[in-house]
Amino acid sequence: MTRRARSSAAARVERGLAYLALAAIVTFFLLPVLWMAITSVQPYALLTAVPPRVSFAAATGQNYADLLGDPKFRRAVTATVVTSVLSTVLALLVAIPAGYATGRLRFAGRAAYLFSILTVQIGPAVAFLIPLFLMMQRFGLIDTYPGLILVFVLFVAPVAVWLLRGFFAVLPPGLERAARMDGASRWRAFYQILLPLGTGGIWAVVLLIFISVWGDLLIPLVLSFSRVVTLTVVASGFSGEQNINYGGASAVAVLSALPAVILALAFRRHLIKGVTEGAVKQ
Amino acid sequence: MGGWLRTVWRLRVGRAVSSEPAFALMLVAPTLILLLLFGVFPIGYSVFVSLLQWRLNIPGVPTFIGLGNYARMFHDPVFTASLGKTLYYSVFAVVGTIALGLATALLLDRQDVKGKAFLIAVLVVPWAVPRVSAGLMWKWIYDGNYGILNATLLHLGLIHQYQWWFTGSQWVALSLVALTQIYKDSPFAAMLFLAGLQTVPVHLQKAAMMDGATRTQRFWFVTLPSMRFVLLAVMILETTWALKTFDLVYVLTGGGPGNQTMLTYMYVYRQAFSYLDVGYGSAMAYFVTFVVFVVAFGYYRLAGHAG
């Protein structure tokens, strides 16, 4: 009895410690985001207070008003939305068939194909961007949507193929055979039977691709100058100043993070499920 | 699809794709073309560029200098110094991401912890925040004049006056940048680890418990070996991400002050796209590619031994 009491006391202490550790982790992950959100609505005078002071009474939307009134920022919003949406859609259009084929069909060169698309994923982006920049300059694709989107698709399609391949591979075997027996073509077996079954995985991939395109800096930094400058490029511009306007920087950081965070929270079940299936598969 | 198109489809394509390999090839064709035109061809082209002295901002014809750019690399003090910095940065980021990711996953996996749905939502936030946003907010936290890191440390009596964290020791500067990468990447690692923990066979855990293994022993001898593939996957991902880190360094320090935090990848960008020295940039890009592939291959071999 006493032993049991002692062990339950130990379990309680341990549980308390676990919660303490989790509280520290949650603080580490959320505090910077909160601090950024708070900073974005503080008047300038408070940002330069030592020690730091926060006043919710003095909260101001000035930083946001400045941004929304800036045509450069508004153009960047458009550019980011257009690029992210189109890149995601196009990458899926090419990656879904390829993911299906590599996951469920047998053909010569499958392993070689999978390995070679992986090299784009593993290889450093700058190694590709230097020649791509020179090529695009020649064909007038610098600072255009087609140029930017093309490069994004190139960089996100491989990982999409690999992930989708996993999702299709775990579906029950023999589905195609059954469909074919019923007289469906290979094509119909793919898009009418297998594709609907793979949608859960596809949503996880949509989220992963969208988040990585939305948040990328290097590619638009290299390939755009004025017309298709994205939010990340505008946001990074704040960091180069001599005296950084942290109110404005925080506002732009918040606005460029918001859509990604909302989307990620909305789709998190798919993400976790996708990740779990990927891990279990091995 | 119009009626005539459908007919053409049936007659031409329909017959061709009646065999499985032909159908598969048709399905991978778009990605294959994309890869060949915009992946393989450019990389081949940049081999050629790396042998040229070619600066876009200086008028004149590019001249062939053979391996000159490669030789220049190893006599360039900024480049050679960047290698050590990159190694330190990568080790710091990989170890930190795995440690924090694994700790988070183990805590979330506990039976007696409530509020898992909330905790998972918390993990998704830093994962989704663009690196540029994360970089800006950490830059503000680290700020030498008004940052809350300074204020907190001063309040706790750990420092006596505000510090400019990036101007002192390069190792401190690099560690602080790496910390932001850990912040960004450990949530995803935690999700992968949490998934991996579900694959640890329950009977093995029970058997170990019956044999009187302590919690620590069970962790080292049952849990970790069972999830070695997830562990390896996270190591590969994080190592390549750390070697190719760009956004965070660009926003936090730009490689400075001086060249304090000039990681190799950042230096390639500077040479190629700030100084527009595309020849030299290509040569260094090749070197980075080589290193990334050697590391990836090393892990791959490790996976072979583990399996």
The fraction of chain A above a pLDDT of 90, given in percent, is: 53
B293/chain A closest Cα distance in angstroms: 7
Residues of B in contact with A19 (CB under 8 A): 113
The yes-or-no verdict on residue A106 having pLDDT over 60 is yes
d(CA A133, CA A151): 10
In this prediction the ipTM stands at 0.91
Structure tokens at B119: 């905790």
Structure tokens at B224: 């970790």
pLDDT of residue B1: 46
Q: How many A×B Cβ pairs under 8 Å?
A: 308
Nearest to A235 among B108, B132, B148 (CB): B132
Query: Which of A28, A47, A126, A137 has the highest number of chain B CBs within 10 A, making it the mutation to test binding with B?
Result: A126
Using the Cβ of B230 and the Cβ atoms of chain A, whether some distance falls under 8 Å is answered with yes
The fraction of chain A above a pLDDT of 70, given in percent, is: 96
Q: Do A122 and B292 touch (CB under 8 A)?
A: yes
Residues 6+ apart with CB under 8 A from B118: none
Characterize the bridge pairing of strands B63-64 and B52-53: antiparallel
Query: Residue B141: closest CA among chain A residues belongs to which residue?
Result: A32
Average pLDDT over residues A59-80: 93
This prediction has a pTM of: 0.91
pLDDT of residue A1: 47
d(CA A73, CA A88): 22
The yes-or-no verdict on residue B233 having pLDDT over 90 is no
pLDDT of residue A236: 93
d(CA A165, CA A118): 13
d(CA A246, CA A39): 7
Using the Cβ of B208 and the Cβ atoms of chain A, whether some distance falls under 8 Å is answered with no
Structure tokens at A255: 């606005």
pLDDT of residue A6: 64
pLDDT digits (tens, 9 = 90+) for A207-239: 999 999 999 999 999 999 888 999 999 999 998
pLDDT of residue B74: 93
Residues of B in contact with A134 (CB under 8 A): 45, 49, 278
Query: Which of B124, B193, B238, B284 has the highest number of chain A CBs within 10 A, making it the mutation to test binding with A?
Result: B124
pLDDT of residue B83: 95
The yes-or-no verdict on residue A256 having pLDDT over 80 is yes
Q: One-letter amino acid identity for A183?
A: G
When the candidates are 3.40.50.2300, 3.10.129.10, 3.40.50.300, 1.10.3720.10, the CATH number that belongs to A70-281 is 1.10.3720.10
Using the Cβ of B256 and the Cβ atoms of chain A, whether some distance falls under 8 Å is answered with no
Q: Which of the four pLDDT bands, split at 50, 70 and 90, describes residue A49?
A: confident
Using the Cβ of B276 and the Cβ atoms of chain A, whether some distance falls under 8 Å is answered with no
pLDDT digits (tens, 9 = 90+) for B109-118: 988 888 889 9
Residues of B in contact with A272 (CB under 8 A): 120, 191, 195
d(CA B263, CA B304): 31
Q: One-letter amino acid identity for A173?
A: P
The yes-or-no verdict on residue A47 having pLDDT over 50 is yes
Q: Do B230 and A282 touch (CB under 8 A)?
A: yes
DSSP code per residue over A218-251: HHHHHH-SSTT--HHHHHHHHHTSSS--HHHHHH
The yes-or-no verdict on residue B241 having pLDDT over 70 is yes
Domains of chain A by residue range: 2-40, 70-281
Using the Cβ of B96 and the Cβ atoms of chain A, whether some distance falls under 8 Å is answered with no
The yes-or-no verdict on residue A104 having pLDDT over 80 is yes
Mean pLDDT (chain A) is 89
The number of beta carbons lying within 10 Å of the beta carbon of residue B79 is 20
User: Quick one: how far is CA A137 from the chain centroid?
Assistant: 28
pLDDT of residue B9: 63
pLDDT digits (tens, 9 = 90+) for A171-207: 888 888 888 888 888 888 888 888 888 787 899 999 9
Residues of B in contact with A190 (CB under 8 A): 27
- Length of chain B measured in residues: 307
Instruction: Please tell me the least confidently modeled range out of A58-62, B15-19, B211-215.
Output: B15-19
DSSP label at residue B51: T
The yes-or-no verdict on residue B12 having pLDDT over 70 is no
pLDDT of residue B77: 96
The yes-or-no verdict on residue B39 having pLDDT over 90 is no
pLDDT of residue B13: 59
Q: Do A108 and B124 touch (CB under 8 A)?
A: no
Which residue has better confidence, B233 or A33?
Answer: A33
Using the Cβ of B294 and the Cβ atoms of chain A, whether some distance falls under 8 Å is answered with no
Average pLDDT over residues B167-174: 92
Nearest CA among B164, B166, B137 for reference residue B247 = B137
Nearest CA among B228, B222, B179, B172 for reference residue B202 = B222
Report domain B69-306's class: mainly alpha
Contact B54, A143 (CB under 8 A): no
3-state SS track over B107-173? HHCCCCCCCHHHHHHHHHHHHHCCHHHHHHHHHHHHCCCCCHHHHHHHHCCCCCCCCCCCCCCHHHH
B178/chain A closest Cα distance in angstroms: 15
Nearest to A218 among B104, B246, B286 (CB): B246
pLDDT of residue B306: 59
Q: Is the previous residue joined to B21 through a cis bond, with omega within 30 degrees of 0?
A: no
The number of beta carbons lying within 10 Å of the beta carbon of residue A188 is 13
Which residue has better confidence, A200 or A31?
Answer: A31
Which residue has better confidence, A175 or B281?
Answer: B281
Query: Which of A104, A120, A121, A130 has the highest number of chain B CBs within 10 A, making it the mutation to test binding with B?
Result: A130
The yes-or-no verdict on residue B20 having pLDDT over 80 is yes
Phi, psi of A60 (to 5 degrees): -135, 145
